[in-house]
Amino acid sequence: MDSKKEPKSIRLQTRLILYSTLVILLLMALVIIIVEKRQSETIQEEAQKRGVTMARHLAAVSTNALLTYNYVILEQNAERVVLEEEVLYVIIHDKEDKVAAYSQHDEKQGMILTDEVSQKAARARAPLIQPILYGEKEVRVLDISIPVYIKESQEKWGTIRIGLSLEGMSSQILKTRLNLLLLGGFAIVLGILGSVFFARRITQPISKLVGTTIAAAEGDLEQAIDIHTGDEIGELGKNFNHMIEQIRLHRNELEDRLRQITSLKAYNDNILASMTNGLITADSELKVVTLNERAEQILEKTKEEVANRSLDQVLGDRHPLYGMMAETFAQDRVIFQPEIEVKRSEEPMWLTASASVLTDGEGKKIGVLAVFQDITGIKALEEKLRQADRLAAMGTVSAGLAHEIKNPLSAIKTFVALLPRKFQNPSFMEKFNITVPREIDRINQLVEDLLELTRIREHLFVALDVNHLILQVIDLYSEEMKKKQIHFENHLDGTISQIQGNAETLYRAFSNLVINAIQAMPNGGTLRISTGLISSENPDLRIAFSDTGMGMDAETTKNIFNPFFTTKDKGVGLGMALTHKIIEDHKGTIEVVSVEGKGATFVLSLPVAKK
Amino acid sequence: MGFKVLIFILVISISFTLLFDRNGFSTEKRSDIPGTGGTYRRPLEFNPKTLDPPLSLDMYAVNIIQQVFDGLVQFDKDLNIIPAIAKSWKVSPDGLTYTFYLREGVKFHNGREVVAEDFVYSFTRVIDPKTKSPAASLLDRVIGFKEFQEGKISTVKGLRAIDKYTFEIKLTEPYSPFLSILGMNKFKVLPREEVEKSGTDFGKSPVGTGPFKFISMKEGEEIVLEANKDYFEGRPYLDKIVFKIFHGAPREKILTEFKEGGLEESFIPPEEIEEILKQKKYSFIQKPLLSLRFYGFNLRTKPLDNKRLRKAINFAIDKKSIISEIHKNQFHLAKGILPPGMPGYDPKREPYPHNETLAQKYLMESGYGKDKLAPTLAIWSASKSDAAQKELNEIKSQLNKIGIQAIIHYETNWPNFLLMLRDHKFPIHIHAWYADFPDPDNFLGILFHSKSKYNYWAYQNKEVDRLLDKARAERDYLKRMAMYRKIEEIVLDDAPIVPMVNHLFQMVYQHYVRGVEVSALGGPYIPMKKIWLKKK
Amino acid sequence: MNNFTKRILIVDDDKGILDSFEVLLGDRYDLVMADNGYEALRIIETEQPHLVFLDIKMPGLDGMDVLKKLHEEQKNVEVVIITATHREETEREAKSLGAIDFLMKPLNIVDVERIASQVLS
């Protein structure tokens, strides 16, 4: 880490050092001052105490000598005491204040000292301490004088005086001071060193941290903090690392996401651009937000034109799209219009459109989206197809019709043609009378059925039992079924089978279905008929006719209900169409599912309640 | 880098602290280191009579004896008793047995080692009446003293050599000042063979154990001593001492010689002191001495046997004016017998202030006076110095005032003077007594006990004797002192002397003289083994 | 019956048609009936008719399938298609499969008789 990244933590370090140094200095100064003072006081007190003690002691041992004016003893005592380093002089005054002993100044023996200090001392009746300056060098001395009394008397028998040099004391105090100062200095130096060390120790990881975070802020997330102090700062470092790691991961994630989003957006844009559907979105104020390329084409407007302008301005307030989108947004529901007509410059256009509300992540409405497809072409095609279908149907019908009529007609024609030849043949005439009318009836029924097919008939609906009806049908065909080895499986739910309907036509429908099933199983099989509710929510009755017959291919399945649609597999042309119509007249639906070769299932649903 | 510098500073400062720890009591008490060598020339006012310790009578002899001999104990400058040849001693609780443990290897100047037996011999010799030592009586408490003196026994039982280095003295009764007595100049150890060889001449060529060996004595001129290199305390600093004898010459003469560099020390007349001190060329030492100068009366001669007369004389003398005018306050006025500083001293004493009226009164009561004139009194002085003469003249005139005639005589030959004194030839004489040891017995006892050989004035007072004896045995210090006070009172009342002054030791020294220690006993007791000369 | 008998198979799921053939040809030839392809094949196998009138639209195997089968197996039998619907390609296909004629319903008896007598004389 280069130093230009460290400015802040140097300040911190300096501050730390400065403060701790100041504190140390202050503390040390305080301590030194206090200690020195105490020491000095103590030393002084001690010195004084010593002096007083010595004086008292001397006084005690000198009492007898004073009583007897034994100067010799007093001198001996004085000389002994003066040997003490701090004692500069010992003077013993006798009762008359004359000098009985004066250390190292034998010449003064017997004299009276006239200096003020001696006078005061001699006069004092209690221990007296006088600070004086002694000798040539004017040494600071405490003159300690102790008056000597004897127990029984008030009379002062002498004065013991000790000159206690304060030099020793002074030098001791000085020494103490020096020691203290040196120690203090030493401690301060140590303290400073220590604080430098600790400041460094503390701020170094911090500056590392700072550096790393600065780097991280500038985007370099590869730096890891390397702090091993094993304390909170180390923790911090670890956490920082972790955090930076997290940030880095997130950033990578974000970058990925951004990339994703960008590519998604590009993809999106591509989609929008290449969509065959037009897309228009508006915000919550119904101002246009986006318009894709296809929408541009369809609406004949450019993105720039419509950007941020309100929908009604862009589309016109009568425009069906606008109405859809506005309603969608207002009512907060999806609106689907399979066909809307849009006036255009040349020809009207048909669109399939759906609009939905745009929400943000929390479900708040933020706008509305409409997707629409130009189905004009499709519609045209559809029309053509319908036409073709109709034609085809017509064709089928025709073909079927032709087929259905031609057979009976052929029979009739043959019989009629043979009539001239065989009219006298009674067997022939018998066959003629049976067959011809029958065939004529067939044609008639066919016509009737066709009419029926196209007729809009108001059916009379009564309550009837579907199951009952079905069973009747089965009953009718039971012989044939038996003959063809077709088994009937009864899954008729007895609980629900009442509907409103036309018995006659329903009967017809059911019969057709049964016939159809029978025809599908020429080699036998099973016809299962079940009734029941479609589901718990849907009250309509569901009836299923399942056979295990030949089944139908897709083509057949699709066209089974078309009139006269016959394949090689089915003979009845109109039957299924009729069934279909009947069921539709009942407001029900009929569908077929089939697997070729396996069988077919016709599923009917009939409303229980009249719609 | 800064770190290392800091550590360096630290180390230095710690070292400093330790250095500073030395005790800085650099005030006084620092002394030069003595250097050996040199000759010390000392003035002696008179030729000593004899240098034989138990026989020495004068201070002049003591000067020399102190350098040539040692005893069991000695005095330090504060008059504490410290070991000499006895390295330690033991006193029995009853105070009767003194056991001395001698140092080994102490040699006489003839080379022989000192043993306990030598002390037995030396002390016995003191007691021996044949020796005629005036100090004998000081040992009168030693068991066997009386018997030995009476010739009843051949050895003093109380003196015993327990073994080679153990010497025991047994007393008949406790005697407080006994140890101090043993420190006196009288009780030195002598080599028997030398004493016996020299006989009476031993006093002329003494052989001892002391720091200086006796070399020669030119009668009336000088006495030469030389350093004893084998001295048990270590050889003294001085190589040689020469005592120059001045025969009572005035002190000015001595001073002149001193100023000319012929002496290392000198007395100094009081009027010169101020001048000398101003010059600052010499060192000056002054110390009050346990001494008394007085006029002694010979109570044997008339009219001095008359107490009242003696008292009258006492009242007649105006000591104060003599001291102030003649002696320029050099001396301390003696009010009693005991000098200040001597235990028992009573500063309140003023028995004989100058009072002519009282003098007259007592004179009247004495019987002498207007009617019967007192006989002329002869006053003898050994010193003929200016001061002495002035004083004597003054006294003469003062006595005259009350009607007593006095004639002054001078005898400057000291030995002669001593002889005459001993022979009681002086009616009145000037005498000075210096304490031998700091005990009132050494004043009152020595001077006034009727049995004392130093009682030149033939004073006799039974009560004083009794008290003195009792006091000697008294072990309670205060009681003892009280007794001496009483004794002094009685003696003063009897007025066998006229106490005049207490001396001051005053000497000048050449500036290169070091190590001079003066005790209250005065000049003779200055241990010259401690003196050294500071060479340039 | 012996093989000499002139046997004709009629295959059609319409009863009317079958009845009409009955009266038309029944007294002159030996007629066999089938109403589906499977039956038709079986009879052809067992009865060996000489002529088959084959409807196309039938449940199960239809006429064309039967024709194919016969063509594959090279059955020695003449087949005439009878149908209600006419488509050119159907006709072509039928003829390519060996059908000797393609008749439209309603049938002309003259046509039928003619063919029958042609094949079976």
Would you place residue B28 in the very low, low, confident or very high pLDDT band (cuts 50, 70, 90)?
A: very low
pLDDT above 70 (res B452): yes
The span from the first CA to the last CA of chain C, in angstroms, equals: 17
Give the count of Cβ contacts less than 8 A between chain A and C: 93
pLDDT above 70 (res B120): yes
pLDDT above 70 (res A16): yes
The full DSSP string for A133-180 is: EETTTTEEEEEEEEEEE-TT--SEEEEEEEEEEHHHHHHHHHHHHHHH
**Which amino acid, residue A473?**
V
Give the count of Cβ contacts less than 8 A between chain A and B: 127
Phi, psi values for residue B314, rounded to 5°? -55, -45
Do residues B311 and B258 both lie within one domain?
A: no
**Distance between CA atoms of A396 and A405, rounded to whole angstroms?**
13
Of the candidate ranges A571-575, B185-189, B195-199, C55-59, the one whose mean pLDDT is the lowest: A571-575
pLDDT above 80 (res C100): yes
Alpha carbon dihedral A30, A31, A36, A42, in 10-degree steps, equals 120
* Average pLDDT of span B29-42: 78
- Boundary-marking domain end, from B180, B201, B222: B201
Would you place residue B237 in the very low, low, confident or very high pLDDT band (cuts 50, 70, 90)?
A: very high
For A240-290, what is each residue's pLDDT tens digit? 778 878 877 888 888 888 888 788 788 878 877 877 788 889 998 888 888
In chain B, what residues touch A190 (CB-CB under 8 Å)?
10
Entry pTM: 0.54
For A202-254, what is each residue's pLDDT tens digit? 777 777 777 777 777 787 777 676 767 677 777 877 787 788 788 778 888 88
pLDDT above 80 (res A8): no
Q: CATH number for the A456-606 domain, one of 3.40.50.300, 3.30.2080.10, 3.30.565.10, 3.40.630.30?
A: 3.30.565.10
Q: What is the mean pLDDT of chain A?
A: 82
* Average pLDDT of span A81-91: 86
> Regarding the domain delimited by A1-220, which CATH topology (the fold level of the hierarchy) does it fall under?
Beta-Lactamase (3.30.450)
Would you place residue A391 in the very low, low, confident or very high pLDDT band (cuts 50, 70, 90)?
A: low
- pLDDT given for residue A341 in this prediction: 83
For C19-59, what is each residue's pLDDT tens digit? 999 999 988 899 999 988 899 999 998 988 989 999 988 87
* Average pLDDT of span B203-225: 91
Number of C-alpha atoms within 13 angstroms, CB side, residue A296?
Answer: 14
Winning range, highest mean pLDDT, from A533-537, B147-151, B173-177, B236-240: B236-240
pLDDT above 80 (res A2): no
> Regarding the domain delimited by C7-119, which CATH topology (the fold level of the hierarchy) does it fall under?
Rossmann fold (3.40.50)
pLDDT above 70 (res B370): no
**Distance between CA atoms of B360 and B45, rounded to whole angstroms?**
38
CA quadruple A453, A454, A456, A457: dihedral sign: negative
Higher model confidence: residue A36 or residue A205?
A36
Report residue A30 CA to chain centroid gap.
59
What are the structural domain ranges in chain C?
A: 7-119
- pLDDT given for residue C18 in this prediction: 92
Query: Above pLDDT 70, what percent of chain B?
Result: 93
Q: Look-up: residue for tokens 């084998």?
A: B230
Do residues B80 and B139 both lie within one domain?
A: yes
Do residues B263 and B405 both lie within one domain?
A: no
Nearest to C24 among A408, A409, A418 (CB): A418
A568 with C62: Cβ contact below 8 A = yes
**Distance between CA atoms of B152 and B149, rounded to whole angstroms?**
7
The full DSSP string for C47-100 is: H--SEEEEES--SSS-HHHHHHHHHHTT-S-EEEEEESS--HHHHHHHHHTTEE
Tokens coding B204: 């002329």
In chain C, what residues touch A411 (CB-CB under 8 Å)?
14, 16-17, 19-20, 106
Q: If phi over 0 gives left and psi between -120 and 50 gives alpha, with beta otherwise, what is residue A551?
A: left
For A135-172, what is each residue's pLDDT tens digit? 888 888 888 898 988 877 778 888 899 888 887 777 77
Select from C59, C58, C95, C60 the least CA-distant residue to C78: C95
pLDDT above 60 (res B195): yes
pLDDT above 70 (res A572): no
CB environment B227-264: b (16+ within 10 A), e (fewer): bbeebbeeebbbbebbbebbebbbbbebbebbbeeebb
Q: Is A276 exposed, middle or buried (0-12, 13-18, 19+ CB in 10 A)?
A: exposed
Q: Total structural domains in chain B?
A: 3
CB environment A568-598: b (16+ within 10 A), e (fewer): bbbbbbbbbbbbbbbbebbbbebebebeeee
- pLDDT given for residue B536 in this prediction: 65
State whether residue A510 is helix, strand or coil.
helix
Q: What is the mean pLDDT of chain C?
A: 88
Q: What is the ipTM of this complex?
A: 0.90
CB C11 within 8 A of CB C37: yes
pLDDT above 60 (res A5): no
* Average pLDDT of span A502-518: 89
Interface-testing mutation among C105, C111, C113, with chain A (most A C-beta atoms within 10 A): C105
Interface-testing mutation among A401, A413, A414, A434, with chain C (most C C-beta atoms within 10 A): A414
Do residues B234 and B155 both lie within one domain?
A: no
- pLDDT given for residue A387 in this prediction: 67
**Distance between CA atoms of B382 and B410, rounded to whole angstroms?**
6
Do residues B296 and B388 both lie within one domain?
A: yes
Structural domain range at position B92: 70-201
Do residues B407 and B488 both lie within one domain?
A: yes
pLDDT above 60 (res A185): yes
Would you place residue B352 in the very low, low, confident or very high pLDDT band (cuts 50, 70, 90)?
A: confident
* Average pLDDT of span A168-185: 79
A182 with B3: Cβ contact below 8 A = no
Do residues B364 and B508 both lie within one domain?
A: no
CB B516 within 8 A of CB B509: yes
* Average pLDDT of span B248-274: 84
pLDDT above 50 (res B38): yes
> Regarding the domain delimited by A380-453, which CATH topology (the fold level of the hierarchy) does it fall under?
Helix Hairpins (1.10.287)
List beta partners, residue B97: B170
What are the structural domain ranges in chain A?
A: 1-220, 275-372, 380-453, 456-606
How many residues are listed for chain A in this entry? 611
- pLDDT given for residue B124 in this prediction: 92
CATH number, domain with residue B194: 3.90.76.10
- Residues within 8 A of B (CB atoms), A 176-235 only: 178-179, 182-183, 185-186, 189-190, 193
A571 with C59: Cβ contact below 8 A = yes
CB environment B23-61: b (16+ within 10 A), e (fewer): eeeebeeeeeeeeeebebbbbbbbbbbbbbbbbbbbbbb
Do residues B326 and B426 both lie within one domain?
A: yes
Nearest-by-CA chain A residue for C12: A407
pLDDT above 70 (res C82): yes
**Distance between CA atoms of A186 and B13, rounded to whole angstroms?**
8
R_g over Cα of chain A: 65
Q: What is the mean pLDDT of chain B?
A: 85
List beta partners, residue A367: A283, A358
Q: Look-up: residue for tokens 């073994």?
A: B163
Q: Is A239 exposed, middle or buried (0-12, 13-18, 19+ CB in 10 A)?
A: middle
Would you place residue B473 in the very low, low, confident or very high pLDDT band (cuts 50, 70, 90)?
A: confident
Do residues B528 and B431 both lie within one domain?
A: no
Do residues B74 and B183 both lie within one domain?
A: yes
For B394-426, what is each residue's pLDDT tens digit? 888 888 888 888 889 888 777 788 888 888 888
Select from C118, C58, C46 the least CA-distant residue to C82: C58
Closest-CA distance, A531 to chain C, in angstroms, reads 28
Select from B287, B31, B386 the least CA-distant residue to A109: B287
pLDDT above 90 (res A578): no
- Reduced to 3 DSSP states, what percent helix, strand and coil does chain B have, rounded to the nearest 5? 35, 20, 45
**Distance between CA atoms of B496 and A138, rounded to whole angstroms?**
51
Interface-testing mutation among C12, C18, C19, with chain A (most A C-beta atoms within 10 A): C19
CATH number of A275-372: 3.30.450.20
**Distance between CA atoms of B369 and B350, rounded to whole angstroms?**
25
- pLDDT given for residue A378 in this prediction: 80
For B296-346, what is each residue's pLDDT tens digit? 999 888 778 888 888 888 888 888 888 888 777 777 888 888 888 788 888
Q: Is residue B8 part of a domain?
A: no
Q: Is A516 exposed, middle or buried (0-12, 13-18, 19+ CB in 10 A)?
A: buried
Tokens coding A282: 């508006």
Q: Is residue B36 part of a domain?
A: no
CB C91 within 8 A of CB C64: no
For A450-499, what is each residue's pLDDT tens digit? 777 776 666 677 888 888 889 999 999 999 899 889 999 998 887 777 88
Tokens coding B281: 């060329």
Using the 8-state DSSP alphabet, how is residue A611 labeled? -
- Reduced to 3 DSSP states, what percent helix, strand and coil does chain C have, rounded to the nearest 5? 45, 20, 35
- pLDDT given for residue B13 in this prediction: 65
A182 with B29: Cβ contact below 8 A = no
Q: Answer whether A touches B (≥3 Cβ pairs < 8 Å).
A: yes
* Average pLDDT of span C70-77: 86
Secondary structure of B185-251 in the HEC alphabet? CCCECCCHHHHHHHHHHHHCCCCCCCCEEEEEEECCCEEEEEECCCCCCCCCCCCEEEEEECCCCCH
